[in-house]
Amino acid sequence: MSKKSLVFSGVQPTGNLHLGNYLGALKNFVSLQKDMNCIYCVVDLHAITVFQKPNVLRDNVLETVASFLATGLDPNKSIIFNQSSVSGHAELAWILNCVSRIGWLNRMTQFKDKAGSDKEKASVGLYIYPNLMAADILLYKATHVPVGADQKQHLELSRDIALKFNSDFGCKDFFPLPEPLIPKNISRVMSLRDGTKKMSKSEESDYSRINLKDSADEIIKKIKKAKSDSAPIPNSLKELEKKPEALNLLTIYSEISKINLDKILDEMSGKDYSFLKNKLADLLIGEIAPVGNEIKKLMGDKTHLLKVLKKGNEKARNLAEENLKNIREKVGLI
């Protein structure tokens, strides 16, 4: 990737990040930071598209920063900041609201899922959420956006908005068209109770997910209880693919052990799932428990977390202001 490339991604401050966030996003962020300029944003303005208790939101923003640091993001290499502290996000979002089309937003499947059956009662913010996401990315002229597969449609919308802006204002290559970076092997970590659903903070049962802050005992209990299959581990991927819960456990194992699935099946086919589960619990404890301990430790020193944010906010604001100046000029705003 060229020197001009810039990575941007956002994470919602939901608190209590889990294995899905870790394997699907955070680990990827850390590896990108090695060779590229990266900006990682805690998207608090996206969070308030559904009501958040103010004191809980504040805490969750800090906990998300703590999770970034605990997984290995380095504030000296990457810009780590929170969205609302750089007002350019909201300003550009407004401009892009006027570029984006109602018909485009009406196609967004995430809005349909999140708004539920009574769309009339959803906030307007939830509806135009994807325009704000486009603003996040375009404000920095980011070129690459690591996201989970569920955000692909929003990223395509960002590209459409960038294209339309460039064409409406006669500035062909002004906004680069951002490209998604979707992890190949594990774009989705599924629920431990239902292999057809994404692992999610909002699923009622805590047994459906491994939280980054889970203790070793909790990890063991959850993996033991995880749904698998009554038949032994199959010998082919094709067979495995018919069993979503088993596939999920093996995929997680593969992702953390760095051994590919075929090889794992060679070793494990014919064995009971308890064999896999013991090994998987050990691996997870080795990888996740230290991260959880670090998050807890960091949350004990909020002054430090606020300092990290302050430094990141300043860097982000400088970049944003520079770009915004040009954007305002293109649009004809004095």
Catalytic residue ranges: 114, 198, 201
**DSSP code for 120:** G
Q: What is the number of alpha carbons within 13 Å of residue 153 lying toward its C-beta?
A: 12
**DSSP code for 288:** H
Residue 163 token pair: 């294209």
H or E element, residue 11: strand 6-11
Bridge-based pairing state of the strands 6-11 and 37-42: parallel
Compare residues 46 and 277 and give the one whose CB is closer to ligand TRP: 46
Least CB distance to ligand TRP at residue 288 (A) = 20
Compare residues 209 and 243 and give the one whose CB is closer to ligand TRP: 209
Q: Closest residue (Cβ) to ligand TRP? A: 10
Least CB distance to ligand TRP at residue 22 (A) = 14
Q: What is the number of alpha carbons within 13 Å of residue 318 lying toward its C-beta?
A: 7
Least CB distance to ligand TRP at residue 103 (A) = 20
Residue 251 token pair: 């995929």
Q: Which residues pair with 7 in a beta bridge?
A: 38, 144
Annotate 281-299 with b (16+ C-beta within 10 A) or e (fewer).
Answer: bebbbebbbebbebbeebb
Q: What is the number of alpha carbons within 13 Å of residue 218 lying toward its C-beta?
A: 13
- Residue whose token pair is 């502290």: 85
Least CB distance to ligand TRP at residue 162 (A) = 13
Assess contact for 178 and 144: CB atoms under 8 A: yes
Compare residues 67 and 151 and give the one whose CB is closer to ligand TRP: 151
Annotate 107-139 with b (16+ C-beta within 10 A) or e (fewer).
Answer: ebeebeebbeeeeeebeeebbbbbbbbbbbbbb
Annotate 244-258 with b (16+ C-beta within 10 A) or e (fewer).
Answer: bbbbbbbbbbbbbee
Least CB distance to ligand TRP at residue 76 (A) = 22
Binding-site ranges for ligand TRP (CB under 6 A): 8-10, 12, 43, 46, 133, 136-137, 145, 147, 151, 154
- Residue whose token pair is 């300043």: 314
Quote the distance between the C-alpha of residue 138 and its chain's center.
18
**DSSP code for 49:** T
Compare residues 285 and 316 and give the one whose CB is closer to ligand TRP: 316
Least CB distance to ligand TRP at residue 104 (A) = 16
Compare residues 146 and 234 and give the one whose CB is closer to ligand TRP: 146
Compare residues 8 and 253 and give the one whose CB is closer to ligand TRP: 8
